[in-house]
Amino acid sequence: MSTTTHQQLIEKLNARKAVVAIVGMGYVGLPLMLRFSEVGYKVIGIDIDPAKVERLNRGESYIAHIKAKDIASARKAGFTATTDFKSAHDADAIIICVPTPLTRYREPDLGFVINTTEALLPHLRAGQVVSLESTTYPGTTDEELKPRIESTGLKVGEGIFLVFSPEREDPGSATHVTKTIPKVCGGITTRCLEVGKALYGQVVDQLVLVSSTRTAEMTKLLENIHRAVNIGLVNEMKIVADRMGIDIHEVIRAAATKPFGFVPYYPGPGLGGHCIPIDPFYLTWKARAYGINTRFIELAGEVNAAMPEWVIGKVIDALNERGKALRGSRILILGIAYKKNVDDMRESPAVAIMELVRAKGGELAYADPHVPVFPRMREHSFDLKSIALSPESLSSFDCAVLATNHDAFDYAMIKQHAKLIVDTRGVYLESAPNIIKA
Ligand SMILES: NC(=O)c1ccc[n+]([C@@H]2O[C@H](COP(=O)([O-])OP(=O)(O)OC[C@H]3O[C@@H](n4cnc5c(N)ncnc54)[C@H](O)[C@@H]3O)[C@@H](O)[C@H]2O)c1
d(CA 2, CA 238): 58
Closest ligand 1 atom to residue 171 Cα is 3
Residues annotated catalytic, as ranges: 275
User: What's the gap in Å between 28 CA and the centre of ligand 1?
Assistant: 6
- Asked if 307 contacts 270 with a C-beta cutoff of 8 angstroms, the reply is yes
Cβ < 6 Å from ligand 1: which residues? Answer: 23-29, 46-49, 52, 97-100, 112, 115-116, 133-135, 167, 169, 171, 274-275
Q: Which atom of ligand 1 is nearest to the CA of 46?
A: 33
Cα(27) to centroid(ligand 1), Å? 6
Judged by DSSP in three states, 364 sits in strand
Q: Which strand ranges, in their side-by-side order, compose the sheet holding 435-437?
A: 363-367, 330-334, 399-402, 421-423, 435-437
Pick from 33, 47, 222, 278 the residue to mutate for probing ligand 1's pocket: most ligand atoms within 8 Å of its CB.
47
CA of 101 to the centre of ligand 1 (A): 9
pLDDT score for 278? 93
Among protein residues, the one whose CA lies closest to atom 21 of ligand 1: 26
Residue 106 region by backbone torsions, left for phi larger than 0, else alpha for psi between -120 and 50, else beta? left
Q: What is the pLDDT of residue 51?
A: 96
Q: How far is CA 428 from CA 6, 367, 370, 432, 435, in A?
A: 58, 18, 21, 9, 8
Closest ligand 1 atom, residue 136 Cα: 41
Indicate the residue type of 34. L
User: How far is it, in rounded angstroms, from Cα 249 to Cα 245?
Assistant: 12
Please answer whether residues 399 and 379 qualify as being in contact, where contact means their C-beta atoms are separated by less than 8 angstroms: no
Ligand 1 atom at minimal distance to the Cα of residue 25: 39
pLDDT 10s per residue in the chain (438 long)? 467 789 999 999 999 999 999 999 999 999 999 999 999 999 999 999 999 999 999 999 998 889 999 999 999 999 999 999 999 999 999 999 999 999 989 899 999 999 999 999 999 999 999 999 999 999 999 999 999 999 999 999 999 999 999 999 887 777 898 999 999 999 999 999 999 999 999 999 999 999 999 999 999 999 999 999 999 999 999 999 999 999 999 999 999 999 999 999 999 999 998 899 999 999 999 999 999 999 999 999 999 999 999 999 999 999 999 999 999 999 999 999 999 999 999 999 999 999 999 999 999 999 999 999 999 998 899 999 999 999 999 999 999 999 999 999 999 999 999 999 999 999 999 999 999 999
Pairing of strands 160-164, 183-187: antiparallel
| d(CA 428, ligand 1 centre) in Å | 35
Q: Say what the pLDDT of residue 89 is.
A: 98
Which is the closest atom of ligand 1 to the Cα of 168? Answer: 6
Supply the pLDDT for residue 2: 61
Choose which residue among 23, 28, 221 to substitute to test ligand 1 binding: the one with the highest number of ligand atoms within 8 A of its C-beta: 28
* Ligand 1, pocket-test mutation among 167, 347, 377, most atoms within 8 A of CB: 167
Burial class of 57 by CB neighbour count within 10 A (0 to 12, 13 to 18, 19+)? middle
Which residue's alpha carbon is at the smallest distance from atom 10 of ligand 1? Answer: 134
CA–centroid distance, 21 to ligand 1, in Å, is 14
Give 304 Cα–ligand 1 centroid separation in angstroms: 24
Mutate to test the pocket of ligand 1, among 132, 274, 281, 344 (most ligand atoms within 8 A of CB): 274
Q: Output the CA torsion 169→173→179→180 (10° steps).
A: -100
Q: DSSP assignment of 21-75, as one string?
A: EEE--STTHHHHHHHHHHTT-EEEEE-S-HHHHHHHHTT--SSTTS-HHHHHHHH
Distances in Å between the alpha carbon of 291 and those of 102, 267, 286, 287, 305?
A: 21, 32, 9, 7, 25
